[in-house]
Amino acid sequence: MATVPMDGDGGLVDRLEARMERLPSYRSFRLLALALLFAANPVAAGQWDISSRVSLAEIYTDNVNLDSENEDSALITEITPGISVHGSGGRFNANIDYRMQNFFSSEDDFSPNTSHQLVGNTNTEFAKNLFFLDAGARAGQAILDASDTRSRSNYTDNSNRTDFYGYSLSPYITPHFGSYAQGTLRYGYDRVVYSKGEASDSETNRVDANIVNGRYFSLLSWGGNYSYRKETRDSGSASDVRYEQANGNARFRLTRSFSLTGQAGYTNDDFNSSETRDNGGYWAVGGFWQNSRFYSIEAQKGNNLETATLGLYPTRRTSLVINYRDRDVGTNPGEVWTGTFSHYTRRSSWSASYIEDTTTSQQRQLGEGGFLLIDPISGEPNPNPQPGDVVVEVPLGPTSSLTNEVEERKRGQATVGLKTGKSGLRSTIFYEERKFLSSLEEEESRGIRGSWNWRFAPRTSSILTASFERTKDRNDSGDTDNWFVQTLVRRQVRTNLNASLAYRFERQDSDGGDRDYDENSLIARVTATF
């Protein structure tokens, strides 16, 4: 392994800083960090839990360039410092986790590279029950083209990956008008920056306002909301995107089980689409019936709008809600279905969901980019792990291409989590269909992923993760299949010292172009927490 200088001209620190300064997003990254600190500063006297860590790994891969014919092996050193910040108090909550992966190798065709991952969220209450500030930040890596060569690993060929950085600031107030009404008025600013690729850097300004009835109204319940969102693209060739909607609703109770309902609204959206989409008003009236706690039915019909909702609650731990909507104006016109299902027992969790919505790559990046952290024993999501917690990183969902187009999305998934005293199992199947509204190209992803953890000794556990995903690309050139399997043994050597050994296998089979590859890797890692 080549010796890496740690200081002086051309040293490691200088080179890392120089690479970060060259990133087009680095200013945004620094502003993002300052925003999170600002959000929590007024209440800094709360309880803070701050831990730093550093990980050293030696990685052997038999195909570092992910090439189907010239499979070059490499021995790579990974140095990853990180920090976790968890704060809580009467008026704030903060959860921030950051790590910086640095890869080095003595191989001639390997260039040192650095990858940043950040997830941060803060909520601060500046005035009791009135004025709040939410701040969030994300940084990581994303696939540029879902049908091109791709890998889970940042140390392999990264020509089909881009770094992304995003942050959001959202102040809001929650006024109360005595017993008559209460509301929320929120402003939001989002910024997303990419290091390369088709998707443009963007900033988003949004306004959300809603008001609902208070305790004064017994037989009548009502509410209204307004939302405005505009994405401004930095690239002159990328069209801006605007969504604007207003809606009001009311429900009047005639009997204990039946109520009259109604709603009216207006949409005023503007984005590049090759299909005709109308803006305008809509209204509908109908009824809501709930004769017992086990079910409920609501249906409405009117001008430009038809809706129906069925709710089933056979037990207190089980629920099924199905929604139908047929609207002639606004985003997602026509017939739209959504649904959720959940069931919980002492040792298991079952859930399923289906949505149809309109989104953009930039929206997805802030809300969905990265990994879902799973507690391997309980099988439940652990979005804010505490220092020392064991988590498994599971991809959040289907791989999708980054574009500047507005896309209509149909997405369904079902998840099962099982747990015992020493092991946990979690499995998810998913399907997603995306229609890009400017080019009218379509992209599909479907697959399955799962994880199994077995704690076979007090300080030792094994973690098996596997996934399969099939993607149909936008150009309809065929399918791309991706397999991933990793088995890992983890040992807690001391309270603040962990060691692990992992074997990883990845395969890609593609119908279009020379994108096939197999890769095997061994990863030995030591992590110290301070």
Q: What tens digit of pLDDT does each residue of 78-105 get? A: 999 999 888 888 788 888 888 999 999 8
Residue 370 predicted with pLDDT over 80:
no
Domain ranges within the chain, ordered by starting residue: 12-529
CB atoms < 10 A from the CB of 230, how many? 16
* Average pLDDT taken over every residue of the chain: 85
Q: How confident is the model at residue 367 (pLDDT cuts 50, 70, 90)?
A: low
When pLDDT is averaged across residues 322-328 and rounded to a whole number, the result is 96
> Is the model more confident about 6 or about 48?
48
Domain at 12-529: CATH code: 2.40.170
> Is the model more confident about 395 or about 416?
416
Q: How confident is the model at residue 382 (pLDDT cuts 50, 70, 90)?
A: low
Residue 11 predicted with pLDDT over 90:
no
Encode pLDDT of 98-118 as tens digits. Answer: 899 999 988 877 778 899 988
C-alpha to C-alpha distance for 347 and 378, rounded to whole angstroms: 8
Beta-sheet strands, E only, within 144-219: 161-173, 176-177, 181-194, 202-213
When pLDDT is averaged across residues 354-368 and rounded to a whole number, the result is 83
Residue 28 predicted with pLDDT over 60:
no
Q: What is the pLDDT of residue 41?
A: 56
When pLDDT is averaged across residues 31-43 and rounded to a whole number, the result is 53
C-alpha to C-alpha distance for 159 and 197, rounded to whole angstroms: 10
Q: What is the pLDDT of residue 392?
A: 47
High-pLDDT (> 70) share of the chain, %? 85
Q: What is the pLDDT of residue 16?
A: 41
> Is the model more confident about 205 or about 154?
205
Inter-CA distances, 410 with 353, 369, 407, 442, Å: 11, 18, 10, 11
When pLDDT is averaged across residues 242-257 and rounded to a whole number, the result is 96
Residue 255 predicted with pLDDT over 60:
yes
When pLDDT is averaged across residues 297-303 and rounded to a whole number, the result is 97
When pLDDT is averaged across residues 376-387 and rounded to a whole number, the result is 48
C-alpha to C-alpha distance for 333 and 277, rounded to whole angstroms: 8
Beta-sheet strands, E only, within 304-441: 305-315, 318-327, 334-344, 348-359, 371-374, 392-395, 407-419, 423-436
Residue 147 predicted with pLDDT over 90:
no
When pLDDT is averaged across residues 15-23 and rounded to a whole number, the result is 44
